[in-house]
Amino acid sequence: MEQSGLPPVIPESEPERFTVSRWRWGIHLLILTAYPITLGVLGATLKTGKGPMLPSDPLQLAGGIGGEVFIFSVIFGVAILLSRASMEDLRLRWTSPLAAVTRGFLYAIGLRIAIGLIAVVAKAMLSVLLGLQPQDIQKLNPDYEQLIDPNALVNSPFYLWINVTVVSFLLGGLREELWRAGMLSGMAHLAPKWFSSVRGQVFAVCLAAISFGLGHLTQGWGGVLMTAFLGIGLGLIMVWHRTIWTAVFAHGFFDAASFLMIYLVTKYRPEWLQQLG
């Protein structure tokens, strides 16, 4: 049976790992922290006139996915080799597939609702406190067109399928949740007194979410904030269930729903596209 709760991140039977490998965990954490921030800064700097990050051609998209997976595998592999992280450190313990998928689906719905409510409240506060007009607030919405060409989703069912499956669950779900598990484990091993308590784990989740959000600078600051809040939710799911897999499926379903939403709006209500967020 799957266990849930907020236990210490580091098993009490392995206290020596805090001292023997701490410098290794420091480099591990530095590498993983730099990964999304570098991608975000480079993407935001080079995006002018380059089109969306995800190519509009299905074959080019498949090649891009392969390249992303390769780059991440090398970076993540180097970090893991340095820290000698175990399966337990990365929360890779597999439990019930049905439970992970079902809970992931339900969590994705909850995250969508929560982030939507946060966006509504934030926009209302900006309007009241700063006197911003609706057109100014709308500019703060995540810029989805920097991520993907909405028309390509409508024009090519195969392209839509790749994004709803491979991009959502492999690039978004597995890759980013492996990264998050590595970040949480790195912080816990590097500074166990700070990050092994319940409060410390929540703090670690928030720090990881900031790096996660900065990796989406190409979508503007609205995209940064939205993905940071999403990162907090996914991190708390991972910490609570003590496994990566529920968060992987929650992330995958969340991203798949985003692609389907962009597809439906573009096809039936294209004038609403700029209001997504």
Percent of the chain beyond pLDDT 90?
A: 53
Burial 211-243 (b: 16+ CB within 10 A, else e): bbbbbbbbbbebbbbbbbbbbbbbbbbbbebbb
Distance CA 153, CA 52 (A): 13
Residue with tokens 């849930």: 4
Sign of the C-alpha dihedral computed for residues 198, 231, 92 and 18 taken in this order: negative
**Residue with the larger pLDDT of the pair 3 and 22:** 22
Whether pTM > 0.75 for this model: the answer is yes
Among 92-101, 102-111, 128-137, 194-203, name the most confident range. 102-111
- Whether 98 has a pLDDT exceeding 50, the answer reads yes
Looking at residue 200, its pLDDT comes to 92
Q: Render pLDDT for 237-253 as a digit per residue (tens, 0 to 9).
A: 999 999 999 999 999 99
Q: Render pLDDT for 189-237 as a digit per residue (tens, 0 to 9).
A: 999 989 988 899 999 999 999 999 888 877 777 778 889 999 999 999 9
Confidence of residue 48 (pLDDT cuts 50, 70, 90): low
Looking at residue 143, its pLDDT comes to 66
Amino acid occupying residue 272:
W
Looking at residue 43, its pLDDT comes to 75
Distance CA 263, CA 149 (A): 10
- Whether 148 has a pLDDT exceeding 90, the answer reads no
